[in-house]
Structure formats: C-alpha cells, structure tokens
C-alpha cells in the first residue's frame, strides 16, 4: 500500500555509502508527501553539486519502483544541508602512518601557506590525545568563545595569523593525559567539526593523529573530505607505516583521494649556507616512496635550525618569507590549490 509509513520503511534500504548507513537513519529525507500515485520528498545532502547525489537519487527511485511499481510518480529534490561546514569548500586531511614525522608541523605551516596565498583557512587539531596546535600558534592560554544557537552551544574558533583554529587542547589541562576510549575521542572530533562557527572557508586543514584508528575512520566516513596529504620522513621505517595509512584512504568504504606525499626532514640546510643541502637520511627517497604509492610528491621540506624553535614559540616558520621552508610550503600550497 502506498502510504507514508511504507515509503519510509522502503527508503531504509537506500544506503548512503560514504556514511555507511541508510538515508532514513541519516535524516536525509525531509518533507515527504505521499498522495495517490505520487511520492515527493527532499533529499538533504552536504553539497548540492556532489556527483554522488545523482547516484543516490537513482537508487532511491529504483528501490521505490521495485516495491510500488513503475507507474508511481517520484519527485526527489536535492536540498543542501545547513551545517557548520556548509560554507567550507574543501576539507584536507593531513595524515601519517606513525608519530614523530612532523605531521603537525606540516599541518600548521600548510595552513599558513594557504593563508599566504589569500585563501580563507581553518585548522582543526584532530590529534585528540596529543594536541599541539595551541603551542604551535602561541594560543595555549586562550579559549574559544561560544554562544547558544537553536538550543545548542556553538564554538567560535580562535583566529591567529588569519587562520581559524580549534583544538581539544584549548579545553583540557595540558599537563594531564586524556584517558578516553575511542567513542569519546570521535565525539570530540565531531564537536570540533560540527559545533563551530567556521563560516566561509576555502580550506579546512585537519591535523590527524598518527595511525589508522577511529579518528581517521570517523573523518573519512562522516565528512566530505576533499583529499588527504600523507607525511613521511626519508627513512624506510617511516614509509612502512605511511604505506598503511595510504592504503586506508584507498579502501572502498572510504575512498578519500590522496593529493600527494610530503617528505619532511628531506635534507638539512645550514642557516649560514642556505645553498647547501645535506641529505642526512638519504637522497630522493621521498620521490621513490611517492612512486611506490603511485601518488605525486607534493614537496620536500628541509630541516633548518629555526623550524622547531618557531613551533615552540608559536610562530610557524612559514610566516617568514625568506626561509627555504616557506618556499617549500608555498609550492605545496600552490599545487593543492591547482587541484581544485
């Protein structure tokens, strides 16, 4: 029988694979009207121009026709969801297979480089157990503002160097460890992403924790990630873990495009001899790693004496236009911008 309750039940068989659930459970069906031989409803999506929307509409129509017959008139209208991320054009995940490769340093300086290219940029510190953005931007003593909207508290990101910042580190004691199970960590990520006043952004850079755990899966499955940047160092032991991280993003259930590989600590450049390059950990290994992963090598970040010092002082080195590090990040930022 063609009644509203039955239509809702049938639509539970329509799966939105990027989020791993059906369109009813995900609250993607709105304004459903069923009358005589007609079915009409709005399909609420994150981005109205997403090519996957047509696939979803066709799947819904096929499912309804298979139950109620081909003679039923079905009208599905795409409606863009109004969320905190509705005006964010691109979400870029910065990931690594292991800790200690400078992923957070790459995230912070990439955000600065994108802002230097006149892009509107936000940075989420999703490394829940080891947040470092507050220190890297010199905002450790600050807390984001907040206000109530529609019965829910909304966070106002801290702005520094033209970048909107949010981190769990703004809300917890820096001297105490976070002893949280996976669901608590993923809930924190969802709040940082969804319960914030991001406004209009060209890029939202997400500094991921190392590895291939709950946070990575939540980000890839729950948000429309435009692409991932994989960070490695030249050592083979680092690349073994990087390969696993890259394979995770290529999984059929996730399918996040890998924008490319960044080789951090590629070589050492002395301050007094900027023309010199010392390949301490091996030469051209980043290029070799990228070829093995079949992804572009976005750039090679040199080691300089000031990079750690600047991070500790809350002034990312990419702010210094004369540094070879800044030139490397500017090139990476330009490459990423051209991809979109």
Shared domain for 72 and 102, answered yes or no, is: no
Give yes or no: residues 41 and 74 share one domain: yes
- According to DSSP H, which parts of 32-144 are helical? 52-68, 103-116, 133-136
Predicted local distance difference test score (pLDDT) of residue 158? 95
Residue 273 has pLDDT above 90, yes or no: no
Tell whether 76 and 93 lie within a shared domain: no
Burial string for 3-41 (b: 16+ CB within 10 Å, else e) reads: eeeebeebbeebbbebbeeebbeeebbeeeebeeeebeb
Report the distance separating Cα 94 and Cα 168, nearest Å: 17
Pairing outcome for strands 21-22 and 29-35 = unpaired
- pLDDT-based confidence at 246, cuts 50/70/90? confident
* pLDDT at residue 244, as a whole number: 85
pLDDT band of residue 254 (cuts 50, 70, 90) is confident
73 and 143 fall within a common domain: no
Range of the domain at 226: 88-339
Q: Residue 313 has what pLDDT?
A: 84
Residues 324 and 233 in one domain: yes
Can you tell me the distance from the alpha carbon of 339 to that of 295, in angstroms, rounded to the nearest whole number? 13
Shared-domain flag, residues 23 and 144: no
Judgement on whether residues 168 and 296 belong to the same structural domain of the protein: yes
Strand 88-95 with 15-16, pairing: unpaired
Q: What is the pLDDT of residue 123?
A: 98
Nearest Cα residue to 9 out of 18, 23, 98: 23
Q: Kindly give the residue spans of alpha helices, DSSP state H, lying in the chain.
A: 4-11, 52-68, 103-116, 133-136, 182-194, 214-222, 236-249, 285-293, 306-313, 324-339
Q: How confident is the model at residue 82 (pLDDT cuts 50, 70, 90)?
A: confident
Same domain, 150 and 272: yes
Segment 318-331 mean pLDDT: 91
Indicate the residue among 33, 52, 80 that finishes a domain.
80
More confident residue, 20 or 108: 108
- Reduced to 3 states (helix: H, G, I; strand: E, B; else coil), residue 149 is strand
- The number of domains in the chain is 2
**167 & 313 share domain:** yes
Instruction: Give the model's confidence band at 52: pLDDT under 50 very low, under 70 low, under 90 confident, else very high.
Output: confident
- CATH classification at residue 308: 3.40.50.300
Domain check: are 156 and 256 in the same one?
yes
Instruction: Examine the domain organization and report whether 62 and 105 are in the same domain.
Output: no
Domain boundary among 80, 97, 127: 80
- SS3 assignment, position 296: coil
Q: Which of 53, 80, 107 is the last residue of a domain?
A: 80
Q: CATH number of the domain that 27 lies in?
A: 3.30.300.130
Higher pLDDT pick, 250 / 89: 89
The contacts of residue 331 (CB under 8 Å, 6+ apart) are: 299
**pLDDT of amino acid 298:** 97
**DSSP string of 237-259?**
HHHHHHHHHHHHHTSTTT---EE
Q: Do residues 17 and 115 share a domain?
A: no
């Amino acid at each position: 029988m063609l009644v509203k309750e039955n239509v809702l039940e049938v639509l539970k068989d329509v799966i939105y694979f990027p989020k791993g659930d059906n369109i009813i459970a995900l609250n993607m069906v709105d304004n459903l009207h069923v009358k005589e031989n007609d079915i009409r409803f709005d399909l609420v999506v994150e981005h109205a121009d997403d090519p996957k929307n047509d696939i979803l509409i066709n799947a819904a129509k096929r499912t309804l026709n298979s139950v109620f017959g081909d003679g039923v008139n079905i009208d599905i209208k795409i409606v863009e969801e109004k969320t905190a991320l509705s005006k964010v054009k691109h979400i870029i995940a910065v990931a690594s297979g292991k800790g200690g490769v400078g992923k957070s340093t790459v995230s912070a300086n990439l955000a600065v480089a994108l802002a230097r290219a006149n892009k509107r940029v936000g940075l989420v510190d999703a490394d829940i157990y080891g947040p470092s953005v507050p220190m890297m931007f010199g905002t450790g003593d600050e807390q984001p503002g907040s206000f109530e909207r529609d019965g829910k508290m909304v966070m106002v990101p801290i702005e520094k160097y033209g970048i909107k910042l949010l981190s769990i580190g703004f809300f917890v004691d820096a001297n105490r460890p976070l002893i949280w199970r996976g669901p608590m960590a993923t809930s924190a990520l969802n709040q940082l992403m969804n319960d914030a006043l991001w406004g209009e952004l060209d890029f939202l850079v997400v500094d991921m924790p190392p590895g291939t755990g709950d946070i990575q899966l939540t980000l890839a499955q729950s948000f429309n990630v435009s692409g991932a940047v994989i960070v490695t160092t030249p050592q083979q032991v680092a690349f073994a873990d990087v390969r696993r991280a890259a394979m995770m993003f290529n999984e059929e259930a996730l399918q996040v495009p890998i924008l490319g590989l960044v080789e951090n600590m590629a070589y050492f450049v002395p301050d007094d001899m900027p023309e010199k390059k010392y390949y301490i950990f091996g030469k051209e290994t980043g290029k070799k790693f990228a070829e093995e992963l079949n992804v572009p090598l976005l750039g090679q970040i040199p080691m300089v004496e000031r990079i750690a010092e600047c991070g500790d002082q809350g002034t990312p080195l990419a702010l210094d236009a004369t540094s070879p590090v800044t030139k490397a990040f500017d090139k990476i930022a330009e490459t990423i911008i051209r991809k979109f």
